[in-house]
Amino acid sequence: MNRRTFLTGTASAIIVSNIVARPLAAKTMSLSNPVPADISPAPSRHPRAITMWEFSWIERRWPGAGYEDWDRALDDLGERGYDAVRIDPFPHLLAADPHKTWTLWPEWNTQMWGSPDVNRIVLLPALFDFLGKCRDRGIMVGLSTWFRKDDADTRMTITGPDVLAANWIKTLDLISQAGYIDSILYTDLCNEWPGDDWAPFVKPHMTYGDWNKPASLDYMHKAIALVRAHYPHMPLLLSCAEDRPENYLDHDLSDFDLLDPHIWMVQQNGGEFYKLAGYAYERFDAKGYTNLSLKAEDTYRARPEYWQKRLVNAIDRHGAVSRKTKIPLITTECWGIVDYKDWPLLKWDWVKDLCALGAQRAASTGQWLAIATSNFCGPQFVGMWRDKAWHQQLTHDIKSAEIAPELRQGRLYERL
């Protein structure tokens, strides 16, 4: 969940279904997506319908928070047609002490992801219990991390790519020893790298949009190489905050098994929509949501085709980059608006329309191997969650989509 950079956007499939990707002027690198020697392509596979449960899966377990009963939450997820979920296993805390009671500090109190106040968690055996319940239901798990802040700020002990990799190796070792490694769809070593909300430990200091600086590229390549030496068949990446997907073409990313672009309409054209709506990612101040309540829907309704085209263009540009690089895509955060919740004047219908457009457009390209329907596909977002038929239609569309022939190989494809 990128609070600062302006990524790519979303649109409406009905009105703009005939828009095609624009030619790319950037240079094309020859990138590869290696296949283990003992694996042959299986053309019959289809994309997974994925949702993001980030750190909510373990933080939001107080009565009424949505995840206090994992069996019910996962049954409801499966009933809606989803077969993959992205969660944070807290690798820095798991590596330090998997059985410790960790005190976590809130990232915000305005949002419905995670905890709005101080909280405590114990990671083991909770992580194994959750992975087991997912496996029982045929739900694959993507691992990622937001490097949540605990009272000792343990994340600041990550002094380089060797420590980052060591934390993940320890995490994957624990999962493997417990017998759940085959349930892991992929591993993202850091969410929206190197955004300083999620990776404040990086030296020299970098933030959203800096992933392609030499120091960042060196850090990512070293961390991936170290983890891959221990887990050669695990799909690996760092999800990068990037507002211009063509920038991926300028660098050798052959060690990335996938890209996870987070694409929203509201962040297109320099964050035009949020500027008009008066929203600035306020984390501990209600004024941002007050402005959304008064302005967001009217801003969209005044020019729906315009905003839809912004979304479709962003999706098509990412698809074109994937075709050139032959690196598959997943998108786990998307498509209309970044921040939203059940609130007195906030309606879900226009948000769901944009999200339907984005999911269907991505599915139609053949370049996505896992597709989310929104940021809000979890039980804490009641207005989105309760529309079961909406979810079922979109997950059907996602799981019925064809994958481009050139992407029917590689570590991620083989785990579908």
CATH of the domain at 87: 3.20.20.80
pLDDT given for residue 44 in this prediction: 63
* Domain coverage including residue 145: 48-415
Query: Is residue 29 in some structural domain?
Result: no
> Backbone phi, then psi, for 96, in 5-degree steps?
-75, -45
Query: Is residue 10 in some structural domain?
Result: no
In one-letter notation, the amino acid at residue 67 is Y
Query: Is residue 373 in some structural domain?
Result: yes
Query: Is residue 124 in some structural domain?
Result: yes
pLDDT given for residue 118 in this prediction: 98
pLDDT given for residue 5 in this prediction: 37
> What one-character DSSP code corresponds to residue 346?
B
pLDDT given for residue 7 in this prediction: 32
Query: Is residue 389 in some structural domain?
Result: yes
C-alpha span between 55 and 73 (Å, rounded):
15
**In this structure, which long-range contacts are made by residues 276-282, counting pairs with CB atoms below 8 Å and at least 24 apart in sequence?**
279/339, 281/3, 281/4, 281/338, 281/339, 282/110
Residue 335: cis peptide before it, omega within 30 degrees of 0: yes
pLDDT given for residue 243 in this prediction: 84
Q: What is the pLDDT along the chain (416 residues), one digit of tens a residue?
A: 544 333 333 333 333 333 333 322 333 333 334 434 333 444 469 999 999 999 999 999 999 999 999 999 999 999 999 999 999 999 999 999 999 999 999 999 999 999 999 999 999 999 999 999 999 999 999 999 999 999 999 999 999 999 999 999 999 999 999 999 999 999 999 999 999 999 999 999 999 999 999 999 999 999 999 999 999 999 999 999 898 999 999 999 999 999 999 999 999 999 999 999 999 999 999 999 999 999 999 999 999 999 999 999 999 999 999 999 999 999 999 999 999 999 999 999 999 999 999 999 999 999 999 999 999 999 999 999 999 999 999 999 999 999 999 999 999 999 99
Q: Tokens standing for 292?
A: 């959304």
pLDDT given for residue 294 in this prediction: 98
Query: Is residue 212 in some structural domain?
Result: yes
Name the region of 104 (left: φ>0; alpha: ψ -120 to 50; beta: rest).
Answer: beta
> Backbone phi, then psi, for 50, in 5-degree steps?
-115, 155
Count of the separate structural domains present in the chain: 1
Query: Is residue 291 in some structural domain?
Result: yes
Residue tagged 């993959």 (tokens)? 84
Global pTM exceeds 0.75: yes
Query: Is residue 370 in some structural domain?
Result: yes
pLDDT given for residue 391 in this prediction: 98
C-alpha span between 76 and 63 (Å, rounded):
17
